[in-house]
Amino acid sequence: MVELQSHLAGKWSPGSGKTTTLRNPATGADVATLHAEGHDLAAAYRFAREVGGPKLRAMTFRERGAVLKAMSGALHGERDRLIEASMENAGTTRSDAKFDIDGAIGTLAYYAGVAESLGDRTFLVDGEGIQLTRSPRFFGFHIAVPLEGVAVHINAFNFPAWGLAEKASVALLAGMPVISKPATATALLTFRCMELFVQKGVLPEGALQLLCGSATPLLELLRRDDVLAFTGSGATGTLLRGLRTVVDHAVRINVEADSLNAAVLGPEVGEGSDVFRAFARDVAKEMTQKTGQKCTAVRRLFVPSGVADAMVAALGEELAQIKVGDPTNDTVRMGPLATEDQLRDVRAGIQRLVADGAKIVWGSPEHVDLVAGDAAKGAFIGPVLLRHDAPAKAEAVHAHEVFGPVATLLPYEKLEDVPGLVARGDGSLLAVVHAEDAKTVAALVRGLAPHHGRVWVATEKVLDQATAPGMVLPSCVHGGPGRAGGGEELGGTRGLAFYMQRTAIQGDRAMLERVLDVRGE
Ligand code: NAP
């Protein structure tokens, strides 16, 4: 069995104390162990600040991009081995493993491309210069320089590769050293990624450290020029926001948390039309990809009441095609949940929705027919579709995220009611719209945007060209208001702002243009 180590202050650190065992959720077999404590986190923190930070800040964007390109290449070169680690520790299908790993490889490569466009600078100049007085000599510029502290990244269990890469690529490009902590339950894949970075020698010293274990002692060290980026449950996010060190030192914190993403079918969409069928197909995929353990998975399905029965039938047909079981069997389309705890939480969540008036219209929380594997040993559950016919009165469906292959259909009467109903989710990452009519799109884009980080719209002309709704693209922002954490990541160069200090520089225009290396008119 593999013993997962951290990579801190330039060397592998096994940790000490209590042993935690990581399991294969499809078979229950032990796959790895780790010690959550016993790491010298003060030394790791100093190493990032004193070695990694200065090295990165001395590099140009182009040079930092070369690091990201090499990281992407290191993962790509061992993709098959990484897929195996994902299947073994997270119970993912091959396809779900690729979604995570290719997402990591692609995001690193994307930011390597952004670096090329930023060129041979070491900091950013933000916008044009501004004349500040009547004199054309006295000008103001805005620049963004890397913060001089440490970026601490804490990730959720569902994307052990992408979670590491999407945060690290932006921080490293901005010029900040990273200490990254994966969720314990699925840390094997993150450990394998780090092993590759170290073996291939792609990282500048101190640029990226891996912590497999508790982050608590590290969080006590945070100071004003450090940042904390967290992905996980709302409860942990709230706890981190309230940490003494975070509050006292005004440490920047970005939280990506729970989300009750909605899918909306426009009232004009005819039963059985291409758009109608695309809604059923996209929803079934979003419900079941990664066994529904995706922050962007849709949980609430707003459908015109006149076609609600037809949509239940269409979704049932799609879900019936999802073969569940041990993902080492090639016919399996959906693997188990990541842990037994998740299975318990998902079943309890479904009960909560039912207690609030929802009815199960497809699937069962307790029984699943497996095409491979042993239901008694793995954390298996099949897709479960619920329906609540009074979305305005319902409470639980708008408040509780069931982090599994579960969604609730909510029939609506009038389009103008939809934004208000969706907004009861209290802020989400994503709203998915399937429509035919520009008026519907206009009403939903305007009505849903204030409550979401992203609105994805499928109309006839893009049905076969659109990316999957749940796919997070590095070029567009990822995050959401309210319950979703109020955070924002990625979005091309937009994501760099979190890791940089924006400063207004005022003075002699000609002098500043020289110093900042901006060309005058
Ligand atoms: P979690 O229990 O909050 O754990 C998330 C991370 O926080 C893990 O690395 C965990 O470490 C760490 N952690 C837990 N308690 C901590 C503490 N007191 N101090 C410091 N770190 C702590 O969440 P989860 O159950 O793994 O993740 C599922 C949730 O994540 C879902 O609700 C989902 O919506 C959300 N999520 C959101 C996004 C997004 O982008 N918005 C993406 C993915 C997932 P250990 O594993 O070692 O306990």
Q: How far away, in angstroms, is 320 Cα from ligand 1 center?
A: 31
Q: Which residue puts its alpha carbon closest to atom 19 of ligand 1?
A: 216
pLDDT in tens, 34-44: 999 999 999 99
pLDDT for the residue numbered 1: 87
Q: Which residue puts its alpha carbon closest to atom 16 of ligand 1?
A: 236
CA–CA separation, 293 and 210 (whole Å): 23
- The DSSP output letter for 37 is E
Q: Are 408 and 362 in contact (CB under 8 A)?
A: no
Task: Catalogue the active-site residues.
Answer: 256, 295
CA–CA separation, 182 and 168 (whole Å): 12
Say which residue the tokens 């030192």 belong to: 249
Ligand 1 atom nearest 182 alpha carbon:
9
pLDDT exceeds cutoff 80 at 317:
yes
Helices (H), 181-307: 187-200, 216-219, 234-241, 244-248, 274-288
Ligand 1 atom nearest 215 alpha carbon:
20
Ligand 1 atom nearest 237 alpha carbon:
3
pLDDT averaged over every residue in the chain: 96
Cβ of 1: how many Cβ atoms within 10 Å?
Answer: 10
Ligand 1 atom nearest 36 alpha carbon:
47
184, 231, 243, 293, best to mutate for ligand 1 pocket (most atoms within 8 Å of CB): 231
Q: How far away, in angstroms, is 409 Cα from ligand 1 center?
A: 27
Q: Which residues line ligand 1 (CB under 6 A)?
A: 154-158, 181, 183-185, 215-216, 231-233, 236, 239, 256-259, 295, 401, 403, 429, 484-485
How many Cα atoms sit within 13 Å of 67 on the Cβ side? 27
Mean pLDDT of 171-187: 97
230, 233, 286, best to mutate for ligand 1 pocket (most atoms within 8 Å of CB): 233
Q: Are 333 and 440 in contact (CB under 8 A)?
A: no
pLDDT exceeds cutoff 80 at 235:
yes
CA–CA separation, 280 and 311 (whole Å): 7
- Greatest CA separation for the chain: 79
pLDDT exceeds cutoff 60 at 361:
yes
Burial 290-303 (b: 16+ CB within 10 A, else e): bbbbbbbbbbbbbb
Q: Which residue puts its alpha carbon closest to atom 43 of ligand 1?
A: 295
Q: How far away, in angstroms, is 460 Cα from ligand 1 center?
A: 37
- The DSSP output letter for 257 is -
pLDDT for the residue numbered 520: 56
pLDDT exceeds cutoff 80 at 519:
no
Q: Which residue puts its alpha carbon closest to atom 18 of ligand 1?
A: 236
> What's the full length of the chain, in residues?
521
Give the closest residue to 311 by CA, choosing from 459, 445, 410. 410
Mean pLDDT of 91-111: 97
Of residues 268 and 519, more confidently modeled? 268
Give the closest residue to 94 by CA, choosing from 102, 83, 104. 83
| H helix or E strand, kind and range, residue 66 | helix 61-77
Q: Are strands 262-265 and 300-304 parallel, antiparallel or unpaired?
A: parallel
Q: Which residue puts its alpha carbon closest to atom 35 of ligand 1?
A: 232
DSSP string, 187-211: HHHHHHHHHHHHHHT-SPTTSEEE-
Q: Are 486 and 234 in contact (CB under 8 A)?
A: no
Q: Are 268 and 436 in contact (CB under 8 A)?
A: yes
| H helix or E strand, kind and range, residue 157 | none
pLDDT exceeds cutoff 90 at 407:
yes
Question: What is the strand order of the sheet 227-231 is part of?
Answer: 11-13, 6-8, 208-210, 178-181, 151-154, 227-231, 252-256
DSSP string, 372-439: ES-TTTS-----EEEE-S-TTT--HHHH----SSEEEEEEES-GGGHHHHHHTT-SEEEEEEE-S-HH
Q: How far away, in angstroms, is 422 Cα from ligand 1 center?
A: 24
Percent of the chain residues past pLDDT 90, beyond the cut:
98
pLDDT exceeds cutoff 80 at 521:
no
Q: How far away, in angstroms, is 151 Cα from ligand 1 center?
A: 17
CA–CA separation, 76 and 479 (whole Å): 27
Ligand 1 atom nearest 487 alpha carbon:
41
CA–CA separation, 82 and 75 (whole Å): 8
pLDDT in tens, 324-333: 999 999 999 9
CA distances from 123 to 64, 296, 496, 497, 500 (A): 12, 33, 11, 11, 9
Mean pLDDT of 179-186: 97
Residue 496 has phi, psi (to 5 degrees) of -65, -25
pLDDT exceeds cutoff 90 at 240:
yes
Q: Which residue puts its alpha carbon closest to atom 22 of ligand 1?
A: 236
Q: How far away, in angstroms, is 232 Cα from ligand 1 center?
A: 3
Ligand 1 atom nearest 485 alpha carbon:
41
Q: Which residue puts its alpha carbon closest to atom 10 of ligand 1?
A: 183
Burial class (CB in 10 A: 0-12, 13-18, 19+), 278: buried
- The DSSP output letter for 476 is S
Say which residue the tokens 């029965």 belong to: 309
Q: Which residue puts its alpha carbon closest to atom 11 of ligand 1?
A: 183
- The helix-helix angle for 187-200 and 162-174 (nearest 10°) equals 50
Cβ of 184: how many Cβ atoms within 10 Å?
Answer: 16
Q: How far away, in angstroms, is 373 Cα from ligand 1 center?
A: 28
Q: How far away, in angstroms, is 258 Cα from ligand 1 center?
A: 10
